[in-house]
């Protein structure tokens, strides 16, 4: 066990290594010891790794990570503190569903003018368990070789753990395949959104003259998605994941947006796919990202599959087949659409240049398209913001034809 005290407390003995106060117990019985931070207790989930160098607060509040324990490959996490603006869940106080966080280095005191709270205190307030002092390179290599393991993360201030019980819990957890996690992150009721993206010196703005009405189905939607829809000229109505097609169409949307979200798309698709099929059949312009992309793939007759290590980071190259351009994207998914299962009317528009997996589709006979990655970024590059304009242009063309 290596690492430093995440609370930045130094021992009188410069050579003394702090006693472990946290463990990460993998399903195969491997026990990794470290220093606990954040909430105390224990939680079970799937361990993934994220390669982003910035945006840890946005990542840990992204509902797509529900059911997962995030290992950051970048060593300096927490050094700019946290604030009340960089939160991606819909509710400021609501949990994103992330089960835990694994770090290499301890947390230093925050050094950023926007910081309002120490990262450790922020984790405590949100009930997220953390462990520092882990060889994250070795853990990442393990995930690349063997896939994303199930595990239990535990933090106890006295350093006392019932390891046999934790090993049994990790081994018995069924994993994300077949698990519908959307109900734990979707909004409870319908609401409207008009906030636009943050600007230097101004903060967040407001859309006061929307040209289009978009209904966004919330499978675990991120705030910056809604902000970019608003910036693109949309009045957005957000509806819970189980909203019926009849209710959505009654709102008379100019377009429908299908959000990101966690869990197995096939499980969520049992109630989401019939709704999406009805919307597509009505000819409503539709745009999906992440889980929304997978939902469209299922709705047109395709299949989804579990990935070996998933894609999690803000540096993933994707080629837009329609333009020939390469964009650097933010990704967070452990399932993918099987391109070989797609029907003839579904064109593959985007491809991951890391592993060649499907990253986007469009329908030839309907105003429908989707991408596997996160064009809203937050965190991540802004190369893909154009997709929100592409969606609005599709809506405008559809309205002109109907006029």
**Which residues are known catalytic residues?**
290, 374, 376
d(CA 200, CA 114): 12
The dihedral sign for the CA sequence 206, 208, 210, 213 = positive
Quick one: which of 109, 114, 52 has its CA closest to 82?
114
Taking the C-alpha atoms of residue 229 and residue 216, their distance in angstroms, rounded to an integer, is 10
Count CA atoms within 13 Å of residue 319 on its CB side: 10
User: Pairing state of beta strands 255-258 and 212-218?
Assistant: parallel
Angle at 274 (CA atoms; ends 269, 277), nearest 5 degrees: 110
In 203-302, the DSSP E strands lie at 203-206, 212-218, 234-240, 255-258, 286-289
CB 339 within 8 A of CB 358: yes
């Amino acid at each position: 066990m290596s690492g430093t005290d995440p609370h930045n407390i130094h021992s009188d003995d410069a050579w003394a290594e702090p006693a472990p106060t946290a463990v990460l117990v993998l399903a195969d019985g491997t026990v990794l010891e470290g220093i606990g931070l954040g909430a105390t207790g224990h939680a079970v989930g799937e361990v993934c790794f994220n390669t982003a160098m910035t945006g840890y607060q946005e990542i840990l509040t992204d509902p797509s990570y529900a059911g997962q324990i995030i290992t950051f490959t970048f060593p300096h996490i927490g050094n700019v503190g946290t604030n009340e603006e960089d939160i991606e869940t819909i509710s400021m106080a609501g949990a994103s569903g992330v089960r835990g966080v694994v770090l290499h280095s301890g947390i230093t005191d925050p050094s950023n003018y926007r910081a309002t709270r120490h990262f450790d205190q922020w984790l405590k307030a949100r009930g997220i368990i953390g462990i520092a002092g882990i060889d994250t390179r070795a853990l990442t290599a393990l995930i690349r070789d063997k896939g994303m393991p199930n595990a239990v993360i535990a933090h106890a201030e006295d350093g006392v753990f019932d390891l046999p019980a934790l090993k049994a819990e990790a081994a018995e957890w069924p994993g994300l395949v077949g698990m519908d996690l959307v109900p734990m992150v979707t909004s409870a009721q319908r609401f409207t959104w008009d906030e636009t993206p943050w600007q230097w010196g101004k903060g967040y703005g407001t859309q006061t003259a929307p040209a289009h009405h978009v209904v966004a189905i919330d499978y675990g939607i991120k705030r910056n998605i809604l902000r970019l829809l608003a910036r693109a000229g949309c009045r957005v109505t957000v509806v819970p994941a189980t909203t019926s097609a009849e209710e959505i169409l009654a709102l008379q949307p100019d377009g429908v947006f299908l959000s990101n979200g966690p869990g197995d798309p096939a499980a969520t698709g049992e109630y989401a796919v019939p709704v999406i099929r009805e919307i597509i059949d009505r000819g409503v312009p539709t745009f999906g990202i992440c889980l929304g992309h997978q939902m469209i793939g299922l709705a047109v007759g395709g299949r989804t599959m579990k990935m070996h290590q998933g894609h999690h980071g803000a540096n993933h190259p994707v080629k837009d087949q329609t333009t020939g351009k390469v964009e650097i994207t933010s990704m967070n998914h452990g399932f993918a659409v099987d391109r070989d299962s797609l029907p003839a009317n579904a064109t593959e528009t985007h491809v991951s240049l890391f592993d060649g997996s499907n990253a986007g589709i469009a329908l030839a006979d309907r105003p429908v398209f989707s991408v596997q990655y996160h064009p809203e970024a937050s965190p991540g590059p802004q190369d893909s913001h154009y997709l929100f304009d592409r969606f609005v242009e599709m809506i405008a063309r559809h309205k002109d034809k109907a006029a």
